Amino acid sequence: MAVPALLLAAALATWTVDAGTQGVLVEDHRAPVVTVTMEFPVGTWSSWARSHDAADAFTFQDDDPERALRKRADALATTIDLGMGRRSASLTIRCLTPDLGAALVLARDVLANTRYDEHELKRESRERKILWRGNETDVGFRLAQAAARALFAADDPRRLPYEKPERVETDVAKLVATRDLMIRWPGRVIGFAGDLTKEDAARAAEGLLPLPLDIAPTDVAPRLGAITPASSRAKEQDIAMSKLTQVYLELVRDSIPFTDLRRPAFLVADHVLGGHFYSRLYVALRHDAGDTYGAGTTEDGDVAPGVYAASTYTRAENADAIETKLRGVMNVFHEKGITEEERATASASLRGNRAFGRQSAEQILRRFLTERRLGLAPGFLDDQIEQAAALSLDEVNAFIRQFYAPSQFTMLRAK
């Protein structure tokens, strides 16, 4: 019954489109739909992108004053998604198979558009300011902001999403120049998923993007600072918010990067601590005494360290009791580790859960692009699950004793 997933994985093909562009196809003819993602190696973590307003240049390029490009997309029943992540910018189109040719012409026109809508740029700028004020009453945002400020230096790009945003650049000539440059740097990929053949995809990729430059980009790779060491961080911090009837707690530290050799052990440990509905945190804080509705762990997944957090919340008058319990769960976890039964269950769960990412061709393409963007070999993340499952109990517990030391965590309280 696992055959379909294997068939899809086997149908992944790659080729060279030109000197600066890779092609990839995940073939799937079950439904008459196609997804095409063009990815460019410039993300919000690059200092070049920030100094050239590359995020604005890339994400607003389909918005001309007459909405002609968007109206064409609507007429074609095609969606165009433009976005810039930490390490790349991407344009994704989704359409029915017969519309692919016209949709690709539209994508090419978007990438060549020189008529950005200045009025919309100004409006976006104003809206950005208003939305920023809305963050003041958002508990999740305020905790994430405090965690980023605790762990990263002021000029570290990992803090950017939580600091006041700059106004939208409204100089259209500057935006066009930036966009034209960033889409020509080598390291690009055109990914296809869905109802087309390798020949269809190779033909579609030809000439889709302007010729790449023959020089490598500079200042585009993320420049991340060092993590603020635990010894230099406050052990706890309160975030004052008005009108809250609950207290929200997060124990935070730096996360384990994907390429860290300790990562497989982390996957097992984290699953047991906070990765499911009967994890240690859920049982102690929710199921045993009803202190909370939610408890668990979160992390930023990347090859660079981000924020790892164990969190929960409760009614204001129960704050001290739940903080004691949260710290207690973490201390016992650190001191005693996990049991063989927990290790075996975590391994089986991590293995079984991989099937969820193999349901559609677009999911498989997305995983390929993630691994490529992070500089990982295809299949790296799935292989890591196998490595995790092969670890002994002693290996996992040795990791827990090192990583979950209470001295490494900062307590954040929003109340």
Site residues (CB under 8 A) for other proteins, limited to 58-87: 67, 70-71, 73-77, 79-80
DSSP 337: -
Nearer to other proteins, 223 or 287 (CB): 287
Mention every residue, 6+ apart, whose C-beta is less than 8 A from residue 112. Answer: 210
315 near other proteins (CB under 8 A): yes
8 A C-beta contact, residue 310 and residue 297: yes
120 near other proteins (CB under 8 A): yes
CB of 32 to other proteins, least distance (A): 6
Strand partners, 191: 24, 37
Which one of 115, 327, 351, 401 is in contact with other proteins (CB under 8 A)? 351
Which one of 27, 28, 56, 302 is in contact with other proteins (CB under 8 A)? 28
290 near other proteins (CB under 8 A): yes
Give the N- to C-terminal CA distance of the chain in Å, as an integer.
50
CA 253 remoteness from chain centre: 18
Q: Binding segment for other proteins among 11-19, 262-270, 324-332, 348-356 (CB under 8 A)?
A: 348-356
Which residues, 145 to 164, sit near other proteins by CB under 8 A?
Answer: none
**Which pair of structure tokens corresponds to residue 335?**
């001191």
Rounded distance between C-alpha atoms, residue 60 and residue 64, angstroms: 9
Rounded distance between C-alpha atoms, residue 111 and residue 57, angstroms: 10
Nearer to other proteins, 3 or 240 (CB): 3
Strand partners, 412: 237, 250
Nearer to other proteins, 79 or 218 (CB): 79
Rounded distance between C-alpha atoms, residue 371 and residue 367, angstroms: 6
134 near other proteins (CB under 8 A): yes
Binding-residue pattern over the window 355 to 394 for other proteins, x denoting contact by CB under 8 A: xx-xxxx---------------------------------
Which burial class, exposed, middle or buried, applies to 168 when counting CB atoms under 10 A from its CB (0-12, 13-18, 19+)?
buried
415 near other proteins (CB under 8 A): no
Nearer to other proteins, 259 or 363 (CB): 363
Would you mind telling me the total number of residues written for the chain in this entry? Answer: 415
CB of 229 to other proteins, least distance (A): 33
10 near other proteins (CB under 8 A): no
Rounded distance between C-alpha atoms, residue 242 and residue 404, angstroms: 32
CB of 247 to other proteins, least distance (A): 10
Rounded distance between C-alpha atoms, residue 87 and residue 27, angstroms: 26
Rounded distance between C-alpha atoms, residue 44 and residue 366, angstroms: 19
CB of 348 to other proteins, least distance (A): 6
- How many Cβ atoms sit within 10 Å of the Cβ of residue 335? 12
Closest to 259 (Cα-Cα) out of 306, 302, 227, 308:
302
Nearer to other proteins, 112 or 344 (CB): 344
8 A C-beta contact, residue 87 and residue 47: no
112 near other proteins (CB under 8 A): no
400 near other proteins (CB under 8 A): no
Count of residues engaged in binding other proteins, rule: CB under 8 A: 71
Which residues, 227 to 266, sit near other proteins by CB under 8 A?
Answer: 242-246
CB of 40 to other proteins, least distance (A): 21
343 near other proteins (CB under 8 A): no
